[in-house]
Amino acid sequence: MVIIKAFVLMLILGAVLGAVLGFASKKFYVKEDNRVQDILGMLPGYNCGGCGNPGCAGMAAKLVSGECKIDQCAPSKPDAKEKIRQYLAEHKEA
């Protein structure tokens, strides 16, 4: 009888916690900006940190937010820099 009570209690506790987690995932969902991934694909991917950012992902995020310029990326070739500039000009807001 004790085992059945424990099983039912764990079943109820699991259902309640699952419902809370499901609610929290909907309530606190953060929409990701797809432009960051697009620009990350255009960067050289060396993650050298020469631009002052923590790798290319940090550089891509700051480029999208307008906090830095593409000229800070030394390894990037001039045609790639121009491609990124055009992309940012065409895709102002996601």
Q: What is the mean pLDDT of residues 39-49?
A: 91
Q: What is the pLDDT of residue 43?
A: 93
Q: What is the pLDDT of residue 33?
A: 87
Q: Comparing C-alpha atoms, which of 52, 51, 41, 40 is closest to residue 74?
A: 51
Show the tokens assigned to 39.
């620009």
Instruction: Report yes or no: 42 and 83 within 8 Å, Cβ to Cβ.
Output: yes
Helix axes 78-90, 34-42, angle to 10 degrees: 160
Calculate the average pLDDT of the chain.
92
d(CA 9, CA 3): 10
Task: Write down the pTM of the prediction.
Answer: 0.68
**How do residues 85-94 score in pLDDT, each as one tens digit?**
999 999 887 5
Show the tokens assigned to 36.
């960051």
**How do residues 65-87 score in pLDDT, each as one tens digit?**
989 999 999 899 999 999 999 99
d(CA 71, CA 62): 13
